[in-house]
């Protein structure tokens, strides 16, 4: 890898391949795999990630919004793309780009039927999402007959899959609740399939579901965070390889005399002499103010240096008093060590939020194409 000369988000496609193979190895060989690439592939770079996943033989993609799916189609991605949270205003564009909506309410179903009809569609692939306890999006089990009635004697739509989403797959304390969600989903899909007369794909597991509830893999699973190398628990993290690493470089070193202050609002001062390093990354890049004032640590030549004072828009200052380093040296914000789970925990958040907040200003560098 060339020397880091600015703030970069390195994206390692070989690590992605490793994680995909690892997760697949935990599943039955014929279980389909959907790669979740919403929010720029969890803040990384959706097009490179999707192209690599296509080359690896992925079955399906999912994005949250229609525009994310359009960007993939424009880049030449040809595999089916599920849009998890489509809005009616985008239905024409969705159809034009052969994207597949997750339909989650009677209203959205009716509006999609109308859009499909208007666009002269026949057997347009759609996915029916059921709410089994997350209480976010989804039909209730009482809607089954209503859905089937709406679709009866119509040719516009073809149900490609039935799905639901689990609320707490990473939390062993919620095992009972999760098993109940899985049971509810199983009941709904049995009822639905029998009345429908054909058998769509069925899927409910996210990454932690794959790890903790493999018996509920049905015929497809949906993984996001695991593909990017984070498993929501240290044991799984150790089997996965981080796909993204946020690296930067020391811009300037300062000697700070006792009782001098550092940064905005003079939030940091010490009664001893300190050495600080200023880094070209700030809250506009996705490292929020909650990481400042000693909460988070970054890696300088293998040693951990605290972020001191307030995080600025474009810069942070770190304490390198006990670390031999110079202007121009590389600093790892997160990657292998600390990994994104650990770094996020410094600010009481989760890797998902940290990764997706890395702003588009940060240069993406793709490794292992
Ligand atoms: C984001 C999302 C996923 C992926 O979850 P991970 O924990 O990242 O694997 C799967 N399904 C749905 C419906 C999602 O919104």
Span 313-329, pLDDT tens digits: 999 999 999 999 999 99
**Distance from the CA of 315 to the center of ligand 1, in angstroms?**
32
Return all residues near 109 (Cβ < 8 A) that are at least 6 apart: 103, 147, 150
> Which domains, and CATH codes, for the chain?
31-228 (3.20.20.10), 244-367 (2.40.37.10)
Q: What is the pLDDT of residues 2-41, one digit of tens each?
A: 689 999 999 999 999 999 999 999 999 999 999 999 999 9
- Determine whether the shortest distance from the Cβ of 223 to ligand 1 is under 6 A: yes
Q: What is the pLDDT of residues 96-153, one digit of tens each?
A: 999 999 999 999 999 999 999 999 999 999 999 999 999 999 999 999 999 999 998 8
175 has binding-site annotation? no
**Distance from the CA of 269 to the center of ligand 1, in angstroms?**
43
Q: Which of 32, 79, 117, 264 is catalytic?
A: 264
pTM of the model: 0.97
Ligand 1 mutation pick, 20, 36, 171, max ligand atoms within 8 A of CB: 36
pLDDT score of 179: 98
Annotate 24-37 with DSSP letters as a single string: HHTS-TT-EEEEE-
Q: What is the pLDDT of residues 281-314, one digit of tens each?
A: 999 999 999 999 999 999 999 999 999 999 999 9
CA distance 76 to 120: 24
- Determine whether the shortest distance from the Cβ of 222 to ligand 1 is under 6 A: yes
- Determine whether the shortest distance from the Cβ of 274 to ligand 1 is under 6 A: no
pLDDT score of 1: 60
Q: Which two tokens stand for residue 106?
A: 């009677």
Tell me the mean pLDDT in the region 66-84. Answer: 98
Return all residues near 21 (Cβ < 8 A) that are at least 6 apart: none
Catalytic site includes residue 38: yes
- Chain-centre distance of CA 336, in angstroms? 18
CA distance 177 to 133: 8
Catalytic site includes residue 32: no
**First-to-last C-alpha distance (Å) of the chain:** 13
Q: Which of 273, 229, 181 is nearest to 41 (CA)?
A: 229
Phi and psi, residue 197, nearest 5°: 90, 0
73 has binding-site annotation? no
Confidence of residue 232 (pLDDT cuts 50, 70, 90): confident
- Chain-centre distance of CA 260, in angstroms? 41
Q: Residue 170 CA: which ligand 1 atom is closest? A: 7
CA distance 15 to 12: 5
**Distance from the CA of 223 to the center of ligand 1, in angstroms?**
6
**Distance from the CA of 4 to the center of ligand 1, in angstroms?**
32
> Side by side, which strands form the sheet with 274-279?
252-256, 274-279, 316-319, 303-308, 297-300, 330-334, 244-249, 8-12, 363-367
Q: Which of 54, 198, 200 is nearest to 126 (CA)?
A: 200
CA distance 72 to 359: 19
- Determine whether the shortest distance from the Cβ of 206 to ligand 1 is under 6 A: yes
pLDDT score of 369: 76
């Amino acid at each position: 890898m060339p020397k880091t000369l600015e703030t970069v988000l390195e994206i390692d496609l070989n690590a992605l391949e490793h994680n995909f193979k690892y997760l697949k190895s935990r599943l039955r060989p014929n279980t389909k795999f959907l790669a979740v690439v919403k929010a720029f592939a969890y803040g990384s770079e959706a097009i490179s990630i999707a192209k690599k996943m296509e080359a690896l033989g992925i079955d399906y993609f999912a994005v949250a919004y229609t525009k994310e799916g359009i960007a993939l189609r424009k880049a030449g991605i040809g595999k089916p793309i599920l849009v998890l949270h489509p809005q009616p205003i985008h239905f024409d564009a969705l159809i034009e780009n052969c994207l597949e909506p997750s339909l989650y309410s009677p209203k959205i179903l009716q509006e999609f039927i109308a859009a499909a009809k208007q666009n002269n569609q026949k057997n347009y692939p759609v996915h029916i999402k059921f709410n089994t306890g997350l209480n976010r999006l989804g039909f209730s089990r009482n809607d089954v007959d209503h859905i089937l009635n709406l679709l009866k004697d119509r040719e516009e739509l073809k149900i490609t899959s039935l799905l639901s989403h689990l609320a707490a797959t990473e939390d062993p304390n919620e095992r009972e609740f999760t098993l109940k969600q899985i049971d509810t989903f199983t009941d709904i899909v049995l009822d639905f399939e029998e009345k429908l007369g054909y058998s769509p794909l069925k899927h409910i597991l996210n990454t932690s579901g794959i790890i903790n509830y493999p018996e509920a893999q049905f015929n497809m699973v949906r993984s996001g965070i695991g593909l990017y190398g984070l498993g929501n628990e240290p044991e799984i993290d150790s089997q996965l390889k981080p796909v993204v690493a946020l690296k930067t470089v020391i811009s300037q070193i300062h000697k700070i005399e006792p009782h001098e202050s550092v940064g905005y609002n003079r939030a940091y001062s010490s009664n001893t002499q300190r050495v600080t390093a200023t880094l070209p990354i700030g809250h506009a890049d996705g490292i929020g103010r909650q990481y400042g004032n000693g909460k988070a640590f970054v890696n300088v030549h293998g040693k951990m240096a605290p972020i001191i004072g307030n995080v600025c828009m474009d810069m942070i200052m770190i304490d390198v008093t006990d670390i031999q380093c110079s202007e121009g040296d590389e600093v790892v914000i997160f990657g292998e060590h600390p990994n994104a789970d650990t770094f996020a925990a410094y600010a009481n958040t989760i890797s998902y939020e940290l990764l997706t907040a890395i702003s588009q200003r940060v240069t993406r560098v793709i490794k292992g194409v």
